[in-house]
A and B are shown apart, each in its own frame.
Chain A
Amino acid sequence: MKKHVLEQILAIVPKERVLLDLAERYSYSFDASFGQYLPDVVIQPETAQEISQLVKLANQYLIPVYPRGAATSLSGGPLPVEGGMVLDMSRMNKKLIIDRENLLAIVSPGVITADVHKRAEEVGLFYPPDPSSSHVSTIGGNLLENSSGPKGLKYGTTKEYVIGLEVVTPTGEIIRTGGKTVKNVTGYDLTRLIVGSEGTLGIVTEAILRLIPKPLARKTLLATFHRLEDSGHAITKILSSGILPAAMELMDNACIRSVEQYSPCGLPVDAEALIIIEVDGHPMAVEEEIRICEQLCYEQGAAHVRVAQNESERTDIWKARKMVSPAITQMGPTKISEDATVPRSQIPEMMRRLAQIRDKYQLNLVVFGHAGDGNLHPNIITDKRNKEEMKRVEEAVGEIFEAAVSLGGTLSGEHGIGTMKAPYMEMELGEAGLMMMKKLKQAWDPNHIMNPGKIFPKPGQTRVVLTE
């Protein structure tokens, strides 16, 4: 970092919040995905004004700017792939206001998502988006990646709950989008453009979130199937029966076996698949709905259905699902976690194609995910130090994307494109579609300083490269 640039940074932010030591910079060189990139400086801003001035400086000297929340990203969102400055947004966490009359939460971007849940629930309200890392991840990171978790089926995704933002644009302006009203058609919907933009169109410095009343009751069941297709049919039947579950989770045989090995929950290791269904709402309605779900599962050939009779049995059921990630990680140190998503009706076909890919490339590929909304999580467990296997992983990842897109699905349901999926953008969007996105980026960020190296493929880049 050049001395005169550094001096100007230090004129904006006090030196205690400007990290230059090599160890400090290496500490912001990674996220929960793949790869490591050393930034030139890490800055911990506390106000939108500081960020605005830093971004203007970055435009003047063409310094890449990388906003970073808690770095739980699985797609490389906060990775400083071109060096420059990382803005650690996790310190900007002071504001968390629950507005009960208007059913809103007004939050700083560094607030932990679970704290929004907690504060809303204290007054009988509910913020449905719930990524599995919500006790760690920042709300700002969730918004920019539009990550949602298991409740998307009934309650929709994160973008449905963001109605207003304060944003520092890539040229350093501080703008407000949307507001405190649920209805708002004044001009373009920039709020929705920013949510899910992966930090390439600006940095969120405040958000207004919509809350809903907390459901009064919930019921949960776990059904196991000898045949994977049967579980797919059960899902389709339930959804066409007039019931909209709050969550519908699917685990394949490999997941079941590894969970049982890692932390026995009494799951049948010979089952090809299991699904977990949770319904919520009025206490009388959920009793009726869970009974119908149980019956439909049996009609579609379920081997066994377990309905939780109390909160501790419910916790046991969810434990099986929550153990999947740690359990499969035991099989190898490197986990490539994808989130290709297909229309719900195509889940059985997608599962079949994933099995083909697994066999073709001889990889440890396991599948679980949010079956209700078609958001599957095929995970490849490997070791990044094994160069030969990583080549096969690269090929397999490409084929997973091809399969999803060919079934009318998408590359990513909630993890984001980041660095890992950028090479496949044109496959899904087409040349013209991708070009429109590029034009948008060009208009917002003429100097390409805001999270550069993400979303858009480099010229000639057509596949992910996982080996150095």
Chain B
Amino acid sequence: MNPYTSQTEKATQPNPRASNLFELTYDATNQCVQCGYCLPVCPTYESMGRESASPRGRINLVKMAAEGKIDIDEHLASPIDLCLGCRACEVACPVGVPYGHILESTKEVIAGNEQGRHASARSHVLKKALLTKLFPKPGRLRILGNLVWIYQKLGLGNLIRKTKVLEAISLPAAQFEKVLPRLESPVKRTRWGAVFPAKGKKKARVAFFTGCIMDALMYQTNRLTIELLVLAGCEVVIPRKQNCCGALHAHQGLIAEAKELAKANIEAFEQSQADYYINNAGGCGASLREYDHLLAGEDDWEERARAFVDKSRDITEILVELGPLPFLNEWKGIITYQDSCHLRNVQGVVNQPRQLLKSIPGATYVELEGSESCCASGGIYNLLHFHESMKILDAKMEKVEKTKATTIVTTNPGCLLQMKLGVERQGREREVRVLHIVEVLAEACGVK
């Protein structure tokens, strides 16, 4: 607390939630000098054109709510909810305002009330159920993934698409059903606890973070990640008892749940005795790499969290470090790359994916204008705010088209689905492939 905070400011706060918000965010929001340097990099300010949809505007509103000048639920909740959380503003900020901290703290305060007053609201029940009953339970998620595989195998998708049943229930759900990747047989899914020896000389022992969604629905990407690591000279272990990274929880304000998941993961990975902890999803990686912030001030955990962060790497970082990869196949066509915001803005990984893609024999890499700007997938933002999200996505797809790319590469499952949806909305799914970077590299290395 700042020593100069006057008593009058605190006295005007009408309720305990405002003072909670004040305690959590007031010093941080006061760091903002309102210069507006964040405006041009904010995707929602660009698409919505309102100050309240900008980082500067949102920070000011958090401050207003903490001072009791506006109501947390009536005035603050909606502008905060409409933030994608891409954190491009943090990179642009000349004074280092901790926007991510402000955003998550504010969501925590807002969520505190949702649990009380609006507990019966349908969207809240769904959100809560997903976050507490599904994502932290790897077993249940795998069953879901298996069901999706069976669904696809039986061709139910065609039936549903023809009858437009799902569209009648939910337009967003119908759109995402179309772009779900074709799953391979769950028999090929990675076993927890497995160890894969390095090919050739062993350069490092790494522990692989499977991620919850990646493990359930994109286990093919996980399998290919492990094969690439092995090719690059890594001995790969899959720690047992690893769990969801907690990103979705933190983004929805469920901080206590996020902390529990973090501790479970730290414990699981410490036991692996690996040199590096590798992940292949920008969003999860960002969350893993902020465990030291999340657990700051918790005596037994702070140090362990910092060690965990120090060892965490994105797959593209380790492949560049241990490379070059043994490419076998020539690539045909133009490749472009859409940054994962959390890989770029939180983890600071900008060049490695580009470097890897440029190194593929035969590939023509074309930089996407505005690739650093969010695709508006935003975790589950595109489900919760479908129309806002599609407006940003469609503008992005126009820029993608200018690159003439036949392959769009991403480094995060959310971005992958979103870009696939973008291609689908343009009706170009026959010409353009959307792939995780690991799939591209594996194909070029002849790994199937």
B34 within 8 A of A: yes
Q: How far is the CB of A64 from chain B (nearest CB, A)?
A: 19
**Which A residues, 368 to 427, have Cβ-Cβ distances below 8 Å to chain B?**
383, 385-387
B75 within 8 A of A: yes
Q: What sequence of 0s and 1s flags, for each residue 7-37 of chain A, a beta carbon within 8 Å of any chain B beta carbon? A: 0000000000001011110111111100000
Question: A133 contacts which chain B residues (CB < 8 A)?
Answer: 35-37
Given known contacts A24-B52, A91-B49, A30 and B36 CB-to-CB distance under 8 angstroms: no
Given known contacts A326-B96, A333-B30, A90 and B35 CB-to-CB distance under 8 angstroms: no
Question: A386 contacts which chain B residues (CB < 8 A)?
Answer: 4
Given known contacts A44-B49, A136-B36, A385 and B61 CB-to-CB distance under 8 angstroms: no
- The distance in angstroms between the C-alpha atoms of A385 and B31, with both chains bound, is 12
Count of interface residues, chain B, beta-carbon cutoff 8 Å: 31
Question: B39 contacts which chain A residues (CB < 8 A)?
Answer: 70, 136
B69 within 8 A of A: yes
A454 within 8 A of B: no
CB atoms of B75 and A22 under 8 A apart: yes
Question: B2 contacts which chain A residues (CB < 8 A)?
Answer: 383, 385
Given known contacts A23-B70, A91-B49, A335 and B36 CB-to-CB distance under 8 angstroms: no
B94 within 8 A of A: yes
Of A29, A325, A333, which contacts B94 at CB under 8 A?
A325
Q: How far is the CB of A136 from chain B (nearest CB, A)?
A: 5
Question: A135 contacts which chain B residues (CB < 8 A)?
Answer: 37, 40
- The distance in angstroms between the C-alpha atoms of A369 and B51, with both chains bound, is 30
Given known contacts A71-B36, A329-B33, A385 and B5 CB-to-CB distance under 8 angstroms: yes
B76 within 8 A of A: yes
CB atoms of A136 and B95 under 8 A apart: no
CB atoms of A23 and B94 under 8 A apart: no
A-B contact count (CB 8 A): 83
B371 within 8 A of A: no
Smallest CB gap from B30: residue in A: A333
B64 within 8 A of A: yes
Question: B94 contacts which chain A residues (CB < 8 A)?
Answer: 325-326, 329
- The distance in angstroms between the C-alpha atoms of A333 and B29, with both chains bound, is 10
Given known contacts A27-B50, A329-B94, A385 and B6 CB-to-CB distance under 8 angstroms: yes
Most buried by A among B5, B6, B50, B94: B50
B79 within 8 A of A: yes
| Secondary structure of the B contact surface, majority rule | loop
A72 within 8 A of B: yes
A112 within 8 A of B: yes
B403 within 8 A of A: no
Smallest CB gap from B58: residue in A: A27
CB atoms of B57 and A27 under 8 A apart: yes
Question: A19 contacts which chain B residues (CB < 8 A)?
Answer: 50
CB atoms of B49 and A32 under 8 A apart: no
Question: B76 contacts which chain A residues (CB < 8 A)?
Answer: 23
Question: A23 contacts which chain B residues (CB < 8 A)?
Answer: 52, 61, 64, 70, 75-76, 78-79
A442 within 8 A of B: no
CB atoms of A385 and B36 under 8 A apart: no
A184 within 8 A of B: no
**Which A residues, 93 to 143, have Cβ-Cβ distances below 8 Å to chain B?**
112, 133, 135-137
A330 within 8 A of B: yes
B13 within 8 A of A: no
Smallest CB gap from A335: residue in B: B33
- The distance in angstroms between the C-alpha atoms of A71 and B37, with both chains bound, is 11
Given known contacts A326-B94, A383-B4, A385-B6, A26 and B60 CB-to-CB distance under 8 angstroms: yes
CB atoms of A27 and B33 under 8 A apart: no
CB atoms of B34 and A32 under 8 A apart: yes
Q: How far is the CB of A390 from chain B (nearest CB, A)?
A: 10
Smallest CB gap from B34: residue in A: A32
Q: How far is the CB of B328 from chain A (nearest CB, A)?
A: 37
**Nearest 6 pairs between A and B by C-beta?**
A326-B94, A27-B51, A23-B75, A385-B4, A386-B4, A27-B52
What would be 14 A-B contacts, judged by CB atoms less than 8 Å apart? A22-B75, A23-B64, A24-B51, A26-B60, A44-B49, A72-B35, A88-B51, A91-B49, A112-B40, A136-B36, A330-B96, A385-B4, A385-B6, A385-B9
Not counting A70-B36, A383-B4, a sample of 12 additional A-B residue pairs whose C-beta atoms are within 8 angstroms of each other reads: A23-B61, A29-B60, A44-B49, A91-B49, A133-B37, A136-B40, A326-B95, A330-B96, A333-B30, A335-B33, A385-B9, A387-B6
